[in-house]
Chains A and B, each alone.
Chain A
Amino acid sequence: MKRPSTLTAYAFLYLVFLYLPVLFLPLFSFNSGTIVAFPIKGWTLDWYRKLGEQDTLIQALWNSLGVGTVVAILSTAMGLFAARAFVRYRFRGQRAAEGLVMLPLVIPGIIVASSMLVLFLFLGLKPSLLTVVLGHTFLALPFSVSILKSAFDDFDASLEEASYDLGVGVFETFRRVTLPVVSPGIIASMLVTFTVSFDEFVLAFFLSGNQPTLPVYIWSQIRFPAKLPNVLALGSILLLTSVLLLVLAEYFRRRSSASEVR
């Protein structure tokens, strides 16, 4: 066996750099002291217990769950059609259209947030959960389009042609052949877009008005040192949820590449 190279050592150090900061949140969420510093005073689950007693937090959680669900459905539905168009058909301006859909990824957040706030007020929409949904759907679309594009990429076009050849119509074919084959991709897209919305802060900060989502609630708590342990406990739960959702999404995305039609 070869001696591990400097490059391999560097790779492992880099992983430590990536994970260590994130892992401090859960670590200190079990700390009985209120100051986030070593040495750890003692271990406790109190901070987690106290989370359930806070009404504004529970309300913010429901807000985030609702927004995330609607965003997941909206962006995945639009992404599904767009991805199919981009993979299966060739048309003029296709590259431009694909580029346009990816644009939300590279516009600075503050500019998206401020300009959408201006637009929605111009259109007479008061900042609320509805405007957050509209904004988050915009941000989530590139993710659903790229996930579903790879789902359609792995999907053999001749399966649909075989279905037409056997006398089945366009909609029936979509329902009986296309949908089942790309459904893992759809699930992956829903999970990812939900997570994007659930974790997003800047847009929600600008657009949520007096209906805070969970990250906006956390932001309001960060300023008070006394609330810190609460934020840590809440943050740890969110971290765990996001990672679980993403691992699940990855599992479905893999399945979409390897799936067979039954």
Chain B
Amino acid sequence: MQVTNKLTPFFENLNFERDDNTMVINFGPQHPSAHGQLRLVLELDGELVTKAYPDIGYLHRGIEKMAENMTYNEFLPTTDRLDYIASTSNNYAYALSVERLIGLEVPRRAQVIRTMLLELNRIISHLFFVATHALDVGAMSVFLYAFREREFAMDLMEDYCGARLTHSAVRIGGVPLDLPKNWLTDLSKFCTKVNYELEHTYEALLTENRIWKMRLEDVGVLTPEDALSWGCTGVMIRGSGIKYDIRKEEPYELYGELDFDVPISDKRDSYGRYALYMEEMRQSVRILKQLIPMYDKTEPKLMAHAPQYISAPKEEIMTQNYALMQHFVLVTQGMRPPVGEVYAPTESPKGELGFYIKSEGEPYAYRLKCRAPSFFHTGLLQEILVGTYIADVVTIIGSTNIVFGEVDR
């Protein structure tokens, strides 16, 4: 029984067994390999982890509560702060669920731009994964190279929306801006570069690297049954051999028309997942290359026409009285979606990201639940870490690719 006072506070449900050899250590919340504010309480027997308890909440900002007190358009920039590695994915997932709720059709040009941005964000996120994962495992140089390419991708994002991390590049009903001049040329140059670097830098440095293989192979083995039961999605579930990609199975935007493969790995370990990330980047490049010619065939219309919910384009607002009135009402009061509920799943770089929105016909969402993939992947840690060695803990956390903006919300 613990005696708690101010000097020795309550240690959460941990047993300090003095008669055996176990030791309890705190991994984080300020550990550089914890990918944010993860406090992991590990019980160790020698170097073997016998119990793991992920303690989260250090980055809890109450984003779901904020959603209940903001109009739908006001909340959109807040979604940037969920998975801050790939902000547009969050913006998009939120915009998609609101669009499904009010039943909007997005113009084709906006769809092309959105799909481009989503895939660009996937590359940014995956490059970040490779960089930090390699850094955690001990391969410093990959970090530098991957961040170089990620910088080019973020330059593209910056050219488009002006921001590097918190993009807010998607609006409910479309996109705010058309692509700037020469953006598509830059994008195709970037695609070529990423494809080249993938093969000649990252894979050349890592894939057959003896140390990399020793550190990753058969580490963090996740059976398909566990992956399903723990609610794993994205690369985590495909790394366990289950072929499920929301872009393919429940297509949104232009993914139904695009030609891409969903790679799976039956190795079930961290190495298989690493290989999937590399392959997914290739597929993203493939998608981007298909999207570039599609852009020119579209009409220059960026926002859906739904005066009840979406403001008219700027030119109309400045010239037409009725558009200005609509805009005024939508800005001061906010849109009022129909009464009902929606859950729209999307394939974010981390896994299934979906927003459940319950609307009561008010300008404020009655309830908004963000289904964050990292939250469930963090829950998995309490089982997957047991029986591994302390040196592999970092590899496994890196392999789950969790982002704490999303876990704690």
Q: Is B a genuine binding partner of A?
A: no
Residues of chain A having any CB pair with chain B under 8 Å = none
Residues of chain B having any CB pair with chain A under 8 Å = none
